């Protein structure tokens, strides 16, 4: 349900993935010393280039640097400061050495292994970072706690150094981002506006002079407001354009580059790609950049002043850039626009636009930073302007919109609040540059103030460095004011008339406020909405209608929303014809009035849209159903081949069962049980594999004749066939094998399985842990259509696996297989005690492929959350199980992958029990394990745990409501049986849940006691109370379904 963080179309990528580094020629003393040259440890060769002092560094400055190294070391970060990826930082020893954080310990999304692959130059180590920690970082990509990986904007270097040596200058936060004051806060907010002050430095001086703090401080301009400046490039990648009734996104800009040489001749070079800038990381050249090229590139160019002279070095600086053409990806077409009559089915405009197209009256460039001539107040409090975004970032090349006014304002006479001079604007007259305007500036630093609308509907302004991005933004249950939500309960009145796969919610409403601590939302419901979904898609036509007068407080876990139902700040939309009240817009309005950007969400079902391509720019308020999404930052470029980038339609060859040799099959079972029907002789299995087992030379054994229509029957301990008395009764239903493409997140096999919630083997009436059934395989088995041709190796391995499972299963794991389908198994696991999964049943289907054990088994988890979210990060709703032993997640140095000669089915089951069904499942997410027990993740973990707890109670209700044929008797014995020795798990589950409800009702407001397992939020108690009532009804013999989890 959570809104994805909004990234402006021009929002910068992490610095390792972009090339916006300002080309600044820093004096060697400033460039080298403040970073404190890292040196390799004694007797250890240096494998990575280290910062070294320049030979012209004065000795006294070296002493200063060595003294500076006595600052707090790694592990002692600045008090109350949290460093995040994309933060703008400086060195404490020299505030003019500015950089951007590429990786931080807390941002797991940046922790890709082997980080050196992202950088053309070597990553360097600060001397305060232990060499062993640095080497580990270079392998795992995870910065040690208390360190950060910084790319310095002034020295073109990337360094891993302690956070204690950094000052936080600014934080990259954008409109639409979800933020918090601290990670421990319950309440979050949405950024609805930004105001940015910039520190600028002249581009020309940065490139051709040695910049040193002691001599060039007066050249800096401080506290320049972002609306005063614009990017020197008119067209930028990611920009939005409108052309001939189409909206598109600029994918590439090709510039003509004009260069001034040392003899004052000026030429537009023949091939801009052959120009070499001062830095390899500079992707796009700007005015003021020094360049070099080959003489032929100049000779073939277009000369503006002078002519080609082979005696002049092919070096100079850029005096002008002009877009030669732009490549556009067309996104959407104006609604209701007439189609061409020439019969051409594909009426998209051409993908590459030249200057003629860009000068056409049908072409418009969307100005993301433009202010509206007609603006609207905030919907929250009715005060202030509704929206402003500063489209500027550190490293950008900029120029003043009004240079004359800027020269008057920044005349050197003003002082800042801290007593520092604001600076004097340095102006280079056109007369000195042959008529070219070279007055451009590098954005060296920014200072951002955010306007934030909090979940309680309050609006505040906060410095961005005092705010963090919400680490729980992916929380599916979180909502914010202005979002349209609906109940998870279906509209019963329309349920019979509607198609089964069409979902019409019982209620639809608008979130007014949110009490995040209690997990409650105040919602105002629509009276007669017409909202229906087909999967994730909204079925047109749809209307929300009139709102009811009152509001209702509901649990966050009782409502949800979908991207198709909501628009978010920053979404670009097509406005439906007739949606805008023409009396609310200027008569003189020209340009596209059918396209705009969502800038505000109303509390009445309306949204504010800025018509940013129109002249003048205006804001209008219209119903949310009156727009259609054209582009969102949530969208991803390119096409997907599947969830993990691989094909999802791989299929095994169809198998008809005609070549199965029943005699050989039975012979293997006789070997398994021994000639007298007893078990095999004991003995230690030193190794699972033999040369014969792992060879590919075994002859496939013929299959049984197929029998149509395998029936599903209940199986009880009394009717299970003993392995010594097996007969052939049915064969697999022939079909193809669906591929299972899992994404996985776990690594190890636990040394000791966790304690089970109850012993299932302490009674004579207890069901057996492992049995081979003589009944047909249930049609509900996920892999029933997956068939194999079993080989001798395959059968021998299964015999050994069965022997292990028969004798070594932990309590509360039950395994069933079928004599006619030894490649199929079904597993019932009872959740361990002291976890959110205690007392709950988990059903898993397994399939052993023909290549087993060379390949791991395939697994499918039966999720019973009714589509309301996962119960565990490793157990997907679509059945995927994330486990390295299953080959569905990479195994790191701590993990364990499938080993054909040593890994077993027992290991897989114990790993699921001990590594997946754990007390704090939040840390099962990939990369989160390093944050276990960290204070900043405690709240996130507790929220995940409480959600998993009441959802797992739903698993108990599901198993008792819908019989599982192969485990029906076992379920009844485990949960309902009153026989002596029966665990009575249903009674235990009800009693434990009621204890949780009692403790949570006595909540004193102390968040430290709320762990999500023994004490939960008020919103979670609503769901748990409902589950308890349902379980009590099932204990009385009812099997009716009720409620959702």
Please state the φ and ψ torsions of residue 93, each to the nearest 5 degrees. Answer: -80, -20
Residue 957: CA atoms inside 13 Å, Cβ hemisphere, count? 25
Kindly report the length of the chain.
1045
Largest CA distance in the chain: 108
Q: How far apart are CA 723 and CA 725, in angstroms?
A: 5
The rounded distance, in Å, linking the Cα atoms of 427 and 390 is 24
Q: At what angle do helices 968-975 and 985-1001 cross, to 10 degrees?
A: 50
- Nearest to 1030, CA basis, from 958, 973, 968: 958
User: Which residues, in sequence order, are bridge partners of residue 292?
Assistant: 276, 315
As given in the structure block, the two tokens for residue 198 are 């910039």
β-strand 302-305 against 266-268: which pairing, if any? antiparallel
Contacts of 584 (CB under 8 A, 6+ apart): 374, 620
- Of the candidates 312, 323, 317, 322, the one whose C-alpha atom is nearest the C-alpha of residue 289 is 317
Report the first-to-last Cα separation within the chain, whole angstroms.
Answer: 15
CA angle, corner 520, sides to 515 and 522, nearest 5? 85
The active-site residue out of 30, 84, 198, 882 is 882
As a whole number of angstroms, the distance between CA 714 and CA 394 comes to 68
Report CA 397 to chain centroid distance, whole Å. 30
Residue with tokens 């975004």: 389
Q: Round to whole Å and give the CA distance between 358 and 322.
A: 12
Q: What's the rounded Cα separation, in Å, for the pair 278 and 266?
A: 19
SS (H, E, C) 564-610: CCCCCCCCEEEECCCCCCHHHCCCCCECCCCEEEEEEECCCCEEEEE
Q: Distances in Å between the alpha carbon of 954 and those of 475, 948, 964, 990?
A: 20, 10, 15, 12
- Rounded to the nearest angstrom, the gap between the alpha carbon of residue 372 and the centroid of all alpha carbons in its chain is 33
Positions of E strands within 418-564 = 441-454, 459-463, 468-469, 484-487, 502-503, 508-515, 520-525, 533-534, 537-538, 552-555, 559-560
Q: Nearest-CA neighbor of 334 among 360, 362, 358, 353? A: 362
Which residues sit opposite 305 in a β-bridge? 266
Place of tokens 């040193």: 212
Left, alpha or beta for 623 (phi > 0: left; psi -120 to 50: alpha)?
Answer: beta
Cα dist. 180→104, 177, 454, 462 in Å? 18, 10, 9, 11
Strands 770-773 and 246-261 turn out to be unpaired
- 882: annotated active-site residue: yes
Residue 275 · residue 257 · CB < 8 Å: yes
In 3D space, the residue among 366, 240, 335, 329 whose CA is nearest the CA of residue 594 turns out to be 335
Tokens describing residue 122: 């070597």
Q: Are 155 and 97 in contact (CB under 8 A)?
A: yes
| CA pair distance 273, 293, nearest whole angstrom | 9
- Return the ∠ at Cα 1008 (arms to 1007 and 1013), rounded to 5°: 90
Strand partners, 131: none
Beta strands in 63-120 (DSSP E): 88-91, 94-104
> How many Cα atoms within 13 Å fall on the side-chain side of residue 859?
28
Residue numbers annotated as active site = 882
């Amino acid at each position: 349900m959570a809104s994805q963080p909004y990234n402006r179309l021009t929002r910068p990528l992490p610095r390792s993935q972009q090339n916006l580094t300002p080309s600044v020629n820093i004096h060697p003393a400033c460039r080298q010393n403040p970073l404190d040259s890292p040196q390799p440890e004694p007797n250890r060769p240096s494998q990575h280039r280290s910062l070294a002092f320049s030979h012209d560094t004065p000795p006294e400055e070296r002493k200063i640097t060595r003294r500076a190294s006595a600052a707090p070391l790694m592990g002692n970060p600045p008090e109350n400061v949290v460093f995040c990826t994309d933060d703008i930082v400086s060195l404490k020893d020299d505030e003019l050495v500015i950089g951007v954080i590429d990786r931080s310990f807390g941002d797991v999304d940046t922790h890709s292994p082997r980080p050196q692959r992202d950088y053309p130059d070597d990553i360097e180590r600060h001397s305060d970072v232990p060499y062993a920690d640095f080497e580990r970082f270079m392998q795992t990509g995870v910065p040690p706690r208390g360190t950060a990986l910084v790319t310095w904007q002034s020295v073109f270097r990337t360094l891993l150094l302690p956070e204690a040596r950094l000052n936080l200058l600014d934080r990259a936060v954008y409109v639409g981002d979800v933020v918090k004051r601290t990670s421990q806060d319950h309440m979050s907010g949405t950024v609805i506006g930004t105001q940015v002050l910039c520190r600028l430095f002249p581009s020309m001086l940065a490139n051709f002079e040695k910049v040193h703090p002691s001599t060039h401080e007066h050249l800096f301009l401080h506290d320049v407001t972002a609306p005063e400046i614009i990017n020197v490039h008119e067209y930028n990648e990611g920009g939005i354009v409108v052309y001939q009734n189409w909206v598109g996104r600029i994918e590439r800009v090709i510039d003509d580059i004009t260069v001034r040489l040392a003899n004052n001749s000026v030429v537009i070079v023949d091939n801009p790609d052959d120009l070499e800038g001062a830095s390899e990381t500079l992707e796009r050249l700007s005015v003021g950049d020094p360049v070099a090229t080959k003489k032929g590139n100049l000779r073939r160019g277009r000369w503006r002043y002078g002519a080609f002279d082979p005696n002049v070095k092919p070096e100079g600086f850029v005096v002008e850039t002009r877009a030669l053409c732009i490549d556009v990806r067309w996104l959407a077409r104006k609604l209701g626009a007439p189609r061409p009559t020439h019969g051409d089915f594909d009426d998209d405009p051409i993908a590459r636009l030249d200057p003629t197209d860009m000068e056409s009256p049908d072409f418009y460039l969307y100005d993301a930073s433009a202010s509206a001539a007609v603006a609207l107040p905030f919907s929250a409090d009715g005060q202030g302007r509704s929206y402003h975004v500063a489209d500027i970032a550190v490293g950008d090349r900029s120029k003043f919109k009004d240079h004359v006014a800027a020269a008057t304002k920044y005349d050197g006479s003003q002082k800042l609040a801290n007593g520092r001079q604001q600076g004097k604007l340095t102006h280079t007259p056109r007369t000195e540059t042959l008529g070219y305007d070279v007055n451009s500036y590098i954005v060296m630093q920014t200072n951002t103030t955010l306007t934030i609308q909090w979940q309680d509907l309050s609006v505040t302004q906060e410095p961005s460095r005092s705010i963090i991005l919400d680490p729980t933004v992916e929380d599916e249950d979180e909502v914010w004011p202005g979002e349209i939500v609906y109940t998870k309960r279906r509209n019963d009145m329309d349920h019979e008339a509607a198609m089964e796969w069409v979902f019409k919610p019982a209620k639809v409403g608008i979130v007014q406020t949110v009490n995040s601590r209690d997990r409650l939302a105040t919602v105002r419901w629509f009276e007669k909405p017409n909202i229906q979904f087909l999967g994730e898609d909204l079925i047109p036509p749809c209307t929300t209608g009139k709102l009811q007068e009152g509001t209702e407080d509901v649990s966050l876990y009782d409502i949800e929303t979908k991207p198709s139902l909501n628009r978010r700040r920053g979404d670009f939309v097509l406005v439906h014809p007739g949606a805008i009240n023409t009396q609310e817009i200027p008569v003189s309005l020209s340009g596209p009035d059918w396209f705009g950007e969502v800038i505000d969400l109303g509390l009445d079902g309306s949204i504010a849209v800025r018509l940013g391509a129109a002249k003048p720019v205006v804001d209008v308020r219209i119903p949310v159903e009156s727009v259609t999404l054209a582009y969102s930052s949530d969208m991803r470029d390119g096409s997907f081949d599947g969830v993990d980038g691989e094909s999802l339609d791989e299929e095994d060859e169809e198998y008809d069962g005609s070549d199965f040799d029943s005699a050989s099959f039975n012979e293997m079972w006789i070997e398994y049980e021994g000639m007298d029907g007893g078990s095999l002789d004991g003995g230690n299995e030193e190794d699972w594999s033999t040369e014969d087992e792992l060879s590919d030379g075994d002859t496939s054994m013929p299959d049984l004749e197929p029998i149509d229509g395998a029936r599903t029957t209940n199986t009880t301990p009394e009717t299970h066939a003993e392995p010594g008395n097996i007969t052939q009764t049915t064969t697999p239903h022939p079909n193809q094998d669906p591929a299972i493409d899992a994404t996985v997140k776990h690594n190890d096999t636990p040394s000791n399985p966790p304690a089970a919630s109850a012993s299932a083997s302490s009674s004579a009436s207890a069901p057996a842990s492992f049995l081979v059934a003589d009944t047909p395989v249930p049609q509900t088995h996920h892999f029933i259509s997956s068939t194999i041709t079993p080989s001798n190796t395959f059968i021998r391995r299964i015999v050994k696996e069965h022997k292990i499972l028969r004798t070594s299963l932990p309590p509360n794991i039950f395994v069933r297989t079928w004599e006619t389908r030894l490649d199929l198994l079904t597993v019932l696991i009872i959740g361990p005690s002291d976890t959110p999964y205690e007392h709950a049943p988990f059903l898993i289907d397994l399939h052993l492929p023909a290549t087993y054990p060379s390949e791991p088994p395939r697994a499918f988890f039966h999720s019973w959350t009714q589509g309301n979210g996962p119960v565990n990060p490793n157990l997907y709703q679509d059945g995927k199980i994330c486990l390295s032993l299953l080959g569905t997640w990479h195994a790191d140095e701590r993990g364990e992958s499938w080993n054909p000669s040593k890994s077993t089915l027992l290991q897989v089951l114990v790993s699921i029990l001990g590594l997946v069904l754990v007390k704090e499942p939040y840390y099962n997410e990939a990369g989160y394990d390093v944050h276990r027990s960290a204070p900043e993740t405690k709240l996130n973990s507790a929220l995940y745990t409480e959600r998993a707890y009441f959802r797992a109670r739903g698993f108990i209700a599901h198993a008792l409501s819908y019989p599982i044929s192969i485990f029906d008797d076992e379920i009844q014995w485990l949960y309902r049986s009153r026989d002596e020795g029966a665990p009575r798990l249903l009674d235990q589950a009800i009693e434990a849940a009621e204890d949780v409800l009692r403790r949570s009702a006595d909540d004193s407001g102390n968040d430290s006691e709320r762990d999500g397992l023994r004490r939960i939020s008020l919103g979670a108690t609503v769901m748990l109370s409902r589950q308890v009532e349902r379980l009590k009804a099932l204990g009385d013999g009812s099997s009716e379904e009720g409620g959702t989890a």
